[in-house]
Chains A and B, each alone.
Chain A
Amino acid sequence: MVTQAATERDVVLRVNDLRTYFQTRWGTVKAVDGISFDLRRGETLGIVGESGSGKSVTMLSLMRLIPMPPGRIVSGSIMLDGEDLLQLSDGEMNRVRGSKIALIIQDPMTSLNPVFTIGNQVSEAIAIHQNIPKRSVMEQALSVLRKVNIPAAESRMRDYPHQLSGGMRQRVVGAIGISCQPQVLIADEPTTSLDVTIQAQYLALLKELQQDSNVALIFITHDFGIVAKMCDRVAVMYAGRIVEQGSVRDIFNRPSHPYTEALLASVPRMEEDVDRLYSIEGQPPTLHDLPPGCPFADRCQYVMERCREEYPTRTTISEGHDASCWRLI
Chain B
Amino acid sequence: MQKYLVRRLGLAVVTIIAVSLIIFIMSRASGDPRHIMLDDYSTDEDWERMGQVLGLDKPYWQQYLIFLRDAVQGDLGQSVKEGRPVTDVILERLPATLYLGLTAFAISLLVGIPLGILSSIKRGSLIDQIGKIVAMLGQSAPPFWLGIMLIIFFAVAWEILPPYGWDDWNSIVLPAVTLGWYYAAANLRLVRSAMLDVLDSEYIKLARAKGVPYRGVVLRHAFRNALIPPLTFAGVTLGALVTGSLVVETVFAWPGLGKLAIDALFAFDYPLLQGVVIVFTLLYVLAAFSVDVLYAYIDPRIRYA
Contacts and interface: CB of A to CB of B under 8 A. Distances in A.
Contact of A128 (B211, B224, B301): B211
Interface string A7-47: 00000000000000000000000000000000000000000
Contacts of A96: 211
Interface residues of A, number: 32
B94 to A, nearest CB: 36
B124 to A, nearest CB: 10
Interface in B255-305: 298-301, 304
The main secondary structure of chain B at its interface with chain A is helix
Given A160-B301, A162-B300, A163-B304, A112 B206 contact: yes
A105 B213 contact: no
Interface in B192-221: 201-203, 205-214, 221
B206 A115 contact: no
B36 to A, nearest CB: 56
B203 A110 contact: yes
Given A106-B202, A111-B203, A113-B203, A98 B300 contact: no
Contacts of B210: 97-98, 102, 124-125, 128, 176
Interface string B170-212: 0000000000000000000000000000000111011111111
B87 interface: no
A63 B209 contact: yes
Contact of A105 (B209, B298, B301): B209
A18 to B, nearest CB: 18
Interface in A51-97: 63, 65, 90-91, 94-97
B298 A98 contact: no
Contacts of B221: 113, 116
B225 interface: yes
Contacts of A91: 213
Given A114-B301, A115-B298, A124 B202 contact: no
Given A113-B225, A128-B211, A160 B298 contact: no
Contact of B206 (A90, A95, A160, A176): A176
A97 B209 contact: yes
A113 B218 CA distance: 13
Contacts of B224: 115
B299 A115 contact: yes
A113 B23 CA distance: 45
Nearest to B203: A113
B221 to A, nearest CB: 6
Given A65-B208, A105-B209, A114 B225 contact: yes
Nearest to A59: B209
A284 to B, nearest CB: 24
A227 B221 CA distance: 34
Given A110-B202, A114-B225, A162 B301 contact: yes
B145 to A, nearest CB: 39
A173 B209 contact: no
Given A113-B225, A115-B299, A95 B211 contact: yes
B202 A107 contact: yes
A192 B207 CA distance: 21
Interface string B208-241: 1111111000000100110000000000000000
A110 B203 CA distance: 6
A99 interface: yes
Contacts of A65: 205, 208-209
Contact of B212 (A90, A107, A111, A128): A128
A126 to B, nearest CB: 9
Given A105-B209, A128-B210, A114 B300 contact: yes
A95 B213 CA distance: 9
Contacts of A63: 208-209
Contacts of A112: 203, 206
Interface string A100-123: 001101110011111111000000
Interface string A196-221: 00000000000000000000000000
A94 B300 contact: no
A215 B16 CA distance: 63
Nearest to A60: B205
A113 B225 CA distance: 8
A90 B224 CA distance: 24
B283 to A, nearest CB: 29
B232 to A, nearest CB: 14
Nearest to B228: A115
A105 B300 CA distance: 23
20 contacts: A90-B213, A94-B211, A95-B211, A97-B208, A97-B209, A97-B211, A102-B209, A105-B205, A105-B206, A113-B207, A113-B225, A115-B299, A124-B207, A124-B212, A128-B210, A128-B211, A128-B212, A129-B211, A160-B301, A163-B304
Given A65-B208, A96-B211, 6 more contacts: A63-B208, A94-B212, A97-B210, A103-B205, A105-B202, A115-B224
Interface of A: 63, 65, 90-91, 94-99, 102-103, 105-107, 110-117, 124-125, 128-129, 160, 162-163, 173, 176
- What 10 A-B pairs are tightest by C-beta distance, nearest first? A98-B211, A103-B209, A98-B210, A97-B211, A125-B210, A160-B300, A111-B202, A110-B202, A113-B203, A111-B206
